[in-house]
Structure 1
Amino acid sequence: MFTALLVIYLLAAVGIIGLVLIQQGKGADMGASFGAGASNTVFGSSGSGNFLTRMTAIFALIFLVASLVLGNLSTNKAESKWVDPSQGQAQTTTTTVEQADDTAAKAASEVPAEKKSNSDEIPQ
């Protein structure tokens, strides 16, 4: 599922980039508005969106939803691979970040404090 979402995410990003580069900007007819009559393309109403703007909005929505889902999936899980010596095959384990943090805190609390060094002892 993660790989499929990542492919959709990348295709949506490439689609947005391509559609934005293809589109003609609002200021493209600016020269027509100076002395060429009444042109409302620069500052006037733009009317209904055409096919390219609608497709850009759809790709942007897909990109946004995919990025939120991928962010949620990758934040809560950490994947690690290890090789089981008895079987000789790679095993994949998935643990949550909260469990790893709890284990690290427990291990840090069990480490004995270092003894204070005397000022008489000079390392050589």
Structure 2
Amino acid sequence: METVVWIIHVLAALSVVGLVLMQHGKGADMGAAFGSGASGSLFGSSGSANFLSRATGILATVFFITSLTLAYFSGTKTKSAGLMESQKQVLPATQPAAPVNPLGVPASKAKDVPN
């Protein structure tokens, strides 16, 4: 189920980017009035703006819903024990090692070494 939501999420994201890039800005209206070719488009002079705006809004809503769904899946995912967690072994208690001086000789024998 999570994989399906991921696929829809990525497709919606790419579609929103494409639709936003296809839309004309508000400053392009004046250029369209003087015959820049917008009136001869597939949807008519104002039909493309309405269609692209609605499609962008719908896909943005789908993107928002899939984002919330993926966040929900992420928060409710059960945490399984990793390989290191399942292989823990209790080690027997050991005596601490004798401290070593800078010469590498254990402290118990360091008395015999002159400074």
TM-score (norm 2): 0.53
* Deviation of the 1:78 alpha carbon: 4.4
2:108 counterpart residue number: none
Q: Deviations over 1:8-60 (max 9, x none)?
A: 00000000000000000011235789xx9xxxxxxxxxx99600000000000
Aligned residues: 75
User: Which structure has the higher relative contact order (CA within 8 Å, separation 6+)?
Assistant: 2
- Unaligned ranges ≥5, structure 2: 35-45, 84-97, 102-115
| Cα distance change of structure 1 residues 81 and 51 upon mapping to structure 2, 3 Å threshold | farther
Which residue is 2:70 aligned to? 70
Q: Cα gap change, 1:23/1:59 in structure 2, threshold over 3 Å: closer, same or farther?
A: same
Gaps of 5+ in 1: 37-46, 84-120
Q: Which runs of 4+ in 1 moved over 6 A?
A: none
Q: Which residue of 1 aligns with 2:14?
A: 14
> Partners in 2 of 1:11 and 1:32 — Cα distance?
31
Q: CA 1:24–1:32 in 2, change beyond 3 Å: closer, same or farther?
A: closer
Q: Counting strand residues as a fraction of each chain, which structure ranks higher?
A: 1
Q: Which has the larger radius of gyration?
A: 2
